[in-house]
C-alpha cells in the first residue's frame, strides 16, 4: 500500500481521537461533576435567604421569575417565595412550580386509572387526595432528614471553627475550612455563606442568611452568639466550644428519651399496620368473605369511615409518641 494511504489512515485516527476528546470535554463541561457542583452552588445561592435585600436579586430570579404563564400565576400566591425556600431546604432538585404541578397531575392520573379499574368513588377520592399529598410528604421528609443531619454535624463544625481560630485563622477563613472539609448539608451551606462573603455581603448578613436558609434552633444560637461576640468582644473559640458541648448534651438527652419511648413507638406502628395486614391476609385467603366491603353500599360506607378513623388514629398516636426535647 502507498504512503498516502497510511498517512490518510493516521490522520483519520487522529481526527477521531480529537473529536472524541472534544465531545467528552463539551459534555463534561456542562454535565460533569464539577459543572453539577457549580450549578448546585449557584442555584443554592440564588434561592437562599428569601426576602433578604442584597445584590443577588438577579440570581434569585432563576428559580421563579414569572417567565411562563404558570410562573406568573404562582407569583400571585402570597407565600410562594417562602414555599420555594422550604422546597430548597429539602435538598431535592425540584422547584416550587414542579412540586405543585406534580401534586396536581398525580390525582388526575389516579382518577383516570380508577375509572378504568372501576374502584368505588369514596376509595377513588381518598386515593386521589393521598396521591396529591405524596410529593409534599416526600419533600417534607427529605427536609426533616436534611435538617437533622445538619444539626448532628453542627457540634463538629463548631469544634473545627474553634480549632481554626486558635491556630490563627480569621473567622471567614474558618468558615471556608468548614465548607471545604464537611460533607453536605453542612459543607454546602457554609460554602454558600463563604461565597456570599466573597461576593461582598457583610459577615452579619451572610450569617443571618445561613440561619434563614437552615431553620435549626441550635444554628440560630450559634449565629446569635457570633454576632453578639462581634459587638461585645470575648473569646469566640471558648464560646464555640460551649455551643458544641451544649448541642451534644441535648442529643444525649434526646437519645435517652428516644430509647425510653421505643416501646410506645413500636406499639403504635403495630396498631396502625395490623388492620391493613389483617385485611390483606383475609382478602388473599378468603376473598368472598371480605369482598362485601367494596361491593355492598353499606360495606363501602363502613370502609370509608374506617379509613378516616384510621388516619385520625395514626395522627393521634404519632403525636403521643413523638416527644420533643
pLDDT (0 to 100) of residue 143:
92
Rank 16-30, 196-210, 277-291 by mean pLDDT and report only the highest. Answer: 196-210
Q: How far apart are CA 134 and CA 130, in angstroms?
A: 6
Residue-wise pLDDT tens digits, 46-100 = 554 443 333 333 334 445 555 566 666 666 677 777 888 888 888 888 888 888 8
Residue recorded with cell 410562573: 71
pLDDT at 51: 39
pLDDT-derived band at 162, boundaries 50, 70, 90: very high
Name the nearest CA neighbour of 189 among 54, 49, 23, 29: 49
CA angle 299, 300, 301 (to 5 degrees): 90
Which residues have a Cβ under 8 Å from the Cβ of 108 and sit 6 or more positions away?
none
Residue 292 in this model has a pLDDT that exceeds 50:
yes
Max intra-chain CA distance, the chain: 92
Do 91 and 146 form a contact (C-beta atoms < 8 A)? yes
Mean pLDDT, all residues of the chain: 79
pLDDT above 90 covers a percentage of the chain that reads: 15
Select from 273, 261, 250, 262 the least CA-distant residue to 325: 250
C-alpha cell at 226: 457570633
pLDDT for the residue 142: 92
Q: How many angstroms from the chain centroid is the CA of residue 226?
A: 27
Higher pLDDT residue, 149 or 31? 149
The x, y and z cell numbers of residue 304, run together, are 370509608
What pTM was computed for the model?
A: 0.66
Amino acid at each position: 500500500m502507498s504512503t498516502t494511504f497510511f498517512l490518510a489512515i493516521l490522520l483519520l485516527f487522529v481526527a477521531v481521537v480529537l473529536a472524541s476528546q472534544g465531545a467528552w470535554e463539551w459534555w463534561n463541561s456542562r454535565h460533569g461533576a464539577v459543572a453539577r457542583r457549580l450549578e448546585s452552588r449557584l442555584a443554592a445561592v440564588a434561592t437562599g435567604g428569601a426576602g433578604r435585600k442584597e445584590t443577588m436579586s438577579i440570581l434569585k430570579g432563576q428559580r421563579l421569575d414569572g417567565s411562563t404563564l404558570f410562573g406568573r400565576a404562582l407569583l400571585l400566591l402570597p407565600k410562594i417565595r417562602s414555599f420555594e425556600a422550604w422546597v430548597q431546604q429539602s435538598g431535592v432538585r425540584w422547584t416550587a412550580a414542579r412540586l405543585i404541578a406534580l401534586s396536581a397531575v398525580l390525582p388526575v392520573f389516579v382518577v383516570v386509572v380508577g375509572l378504568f379499574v372501576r374502584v368505588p368513588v369514596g376509595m377513588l377520592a381518598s386515593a386521589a387526595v393521598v396521591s396529591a399529598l405524596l410529593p409534599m410528604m416526600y419533600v417534607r421528609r427529605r427536609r426533616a432528614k436534611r435538617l437533622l443531619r445538619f444539626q448532628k454535624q453542627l457540634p463538629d463544625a463548631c469544634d473545627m471553627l474553634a480549632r481554626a481560630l486558635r491556630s490563627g485563622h480569621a473567622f471567614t477563613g474558618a468558615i471556608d475550612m468548614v465548607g471545604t472539609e464537611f460533607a453536605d448539608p453542612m459543607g454546602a451551606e457554609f460554602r454558600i455563606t463563604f461565597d456570599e462573603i466573597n461576593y461582598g455581603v457583610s459577615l452579619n448578613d451572610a450569617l443571618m442568611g445561613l440561619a434563614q436558609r437552615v431553620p435549626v434552633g441550635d444554628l440560630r444560637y450559634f449565629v446569635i452568639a457570633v454576632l453578639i461576640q462581634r459587638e461585645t468582644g470575648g473569646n469566640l473559640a471558648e464560646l464555640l466550644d460551649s455551643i458544641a458541648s451544649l448541642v451534644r448534651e441535648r442529643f444525649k438527652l434526646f437519645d435517652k428519651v428516644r430509647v425510653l419511648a421505643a416501646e410506645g413507638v413500636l406499639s403504635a406502628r403495630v396498631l396502625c399496620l395490623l388492620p391493613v395486614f389483617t385485611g390483606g391476609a383475609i382478602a388473599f385467603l378468603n376473598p368472598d368473605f371480605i369482598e362485601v366491603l367494596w361491593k355492598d353500599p353499606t360495606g363501602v360506607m363502613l370502609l370509608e369511615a374506617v379509613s378516616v378513623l384510621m388516619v385520625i388514629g395514626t395522627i393521634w398516636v404519632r403525636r403521643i409518641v413523638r416527644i420533643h426535647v
